[in-house]
Amino acid sequence: MDALIQPGQTLRMERGHAQITVENRIGEGGQGVVHRARLNGAPVAVKWYRPGPGAEEMRKSITALVRRGRPPHPAFMWPIDLVSSDQLPGFGYVMPLLDRRFISLAHLLNEPMQPSFRVVTALGRELVDAFAALHSSGLCYRDISFGNLRVDPGACEVAIIDVDNVGTDGGEALVKGTAPFMAPEVLRDEVLPSTVSDLYSLAVLLFYLLMHGHPLLGERTDASYTWDGSHLSETELTLRNFGLQPLFVFDPDDGSNRPLPDSLVNIWWPIYPGHCHRLFTQAFTTGLHDASLYGRVKEGGWRRMLTGLHDSVSACPGCSAEAFYDPEQPRQRCWDCRGALPVPPRLEAPGGTLVLSQGAVVTSHHLTRDRGYRTTCAVVEAHPGRPGRLVLRNMTDSTWTVVPEGEEAKHVVPSQRVAIRPMLIDFGGVQGRISVPGAR
């Protein structure tokens, strides 16, 4: 008898006792298969495990996740309940059905037309926030890699699948990870996966997202895979390059593993500001060898960096290419046309500094530091009558009070626009200041 479920069969939820009708298969892996299914008419997904070694341990692990409940972040495709069959041995679990709008992160990075800088940094922040929620619940993911992530660039949302990898921090693990993403100490079999090793894997993932390459794949790594008489297997070379002798491609003290000449990392790295370089350098120098919460970059550090990047997006006046405003570079030039980049107008608010370029959004977080990144309070638009100038539109239900330099105080009602120029703004109990370099 085939031990896998088939379309048309029914399964029983073990805690909820509801019936689930199996539909078409939508995925398959080494552990089992994933089917579309119906629960009281609503679409869901079911993962059914192949019988074999480790099945009982997996059942216990999934049972614990069901009882614990999803961490406080919507990204996780969390188990709802275990399911079993009267017709087949084995078990599975039911989970939400992933919407078709989500695509693999690897697919997104391979697209010839890359999403905007705001989209990329927002996706990175969503990933960071999701794993922060998981870790704060005392859990670790163990296998952060391309295969387990999906993204919707239009909505700037992420989905984290295969949550059967999840377990208690430092607990026994059936899965250790995917080699290029695994922390060196896990690859060396010194420790089990944990929050600390997750932080390393997250750093690798973010480097891929922003720089389009692996942080340890450079000239030295590449040379190790050529014929040199060592007769090392690929497994041994992977252990050496990622576990025993890892070296960051931009290590400030050792340039022997710089990116290959044709690597996309050479193009993307210079585009990002200095604070971004410093954080990745920490992650892949100190963080390579100090496997602790003090050595690794924690989620808060990544969140600050990604939020800062998201809020510093400007545009080159010469070629319109997106650029990151970097206050550390007073003579900053466009990465595309090499033209001089003027210092952009900026809003200084309690939640940070926002570059006021077209398409920028003032969110609730800027005003109250509540991480309300999706709550829009104002948007930057093109001036309707003066090409090249910008306006700020009030998207709240409150009336603002603005005091432009050299002018009387004015009121800006909901949906009204105000030309961007040096001014103080009272958003309704929260104050901000717009600075425009060179303005008179």
pLDDT averages per 10-residue partition of the chain, 440 residues: 82 93 89 92 93 83 92 95 91 94 93 94 98 95 93 96 86 80 96 95 98 97 76 87 97 97 96 97 97 96 98 95 94 95 96 96 96 96 89 96 95 96 95 85
How far the first Cα of the chain sits from its last, in Å, is: 82
Domains in the chain, please, with CATH? Answer: 10-96 (3.30.200.20), 103-305 (1.10.510.10), 344-435 (2.60.200.20)
pLDDT of residue 1: 42
pTM: predicted TM-score of the whole model, two decimal places: 0.94
Backbone torsion region of residue 309, taken as left when φ is above 0, otherwise alpha when ψ lies between -120 and 50, otherwise beta: alpha
Alpha-carbon span 345 to 324, nearest angstrom: 13
Q: What is the pLDDT of residue 162?
A: 87
- What local confidence, expressed as pLDDT, does residue 109 receive? 92
Q: Are 135 and 195 in contact (CB under 8 A)?
A: yes
pLDDT at 234 (0 to 100): 85
Give the dihedral of Cα atoms 183, 186, 191, 192; nearest 10 deg. 100
DSSP category for residue 265? H
**Amino acid 153: pLDDT:** 96
Residue 75: name the closest of 143, 135, 150 by CA. Answer: 150
Q: How far apart are CA 4 and CA 106, in angstroms?
A: 29
pLDDT of the residue at 308: 97
Instruction: Encode 7-45: b = buried (16+ Cβ within 10 Å), e = exposed.
Output: eebebebeeeeeebbbbeeeeeeebbbbbbbbbeeeebb
Residue with tokens 């693990």: 173
Q: Which two tokens stand for residue 27?
A: 């995925």
Which element (helix H / strand E) includes 220?
Answer: helix 219-224
Q: Compute φ and ψ for 212, nearest 5 degrees.
A: 65, 40
- pLDDT number for residue 228: 58
Separation in Å, CA 193 to CA 176, 259, 261: 6, 28, 34
Q: What span, in angstroms and rounded, lies between the C-alpha atoms of 358 and 188? A: 49
CB 393 within 8 A of CB 415: yes
**Alpha-carbon span 157 to 159, nearest angstrom:** 7
Instruction: Give the separation between CA 195 and CA 204, rounded to whole angstroms.
Output: 14
| Contact present, 13 and 64 (Cβ < 8 Å) | no
Write the Ramachandran bin of 286: left for phi over 0, alpha for psi from -120 to 50, otherwise beta.
alpha
Strand partners, 402: 410, 425
- Which strand (E) or helix (H) includes residue 411? strand 410-412
Cα–Cα dist 224/212, whole Å? 21
Q: Which residues contact 57 (CB under 8 A, 6 or more apart)?
A: 172, 174
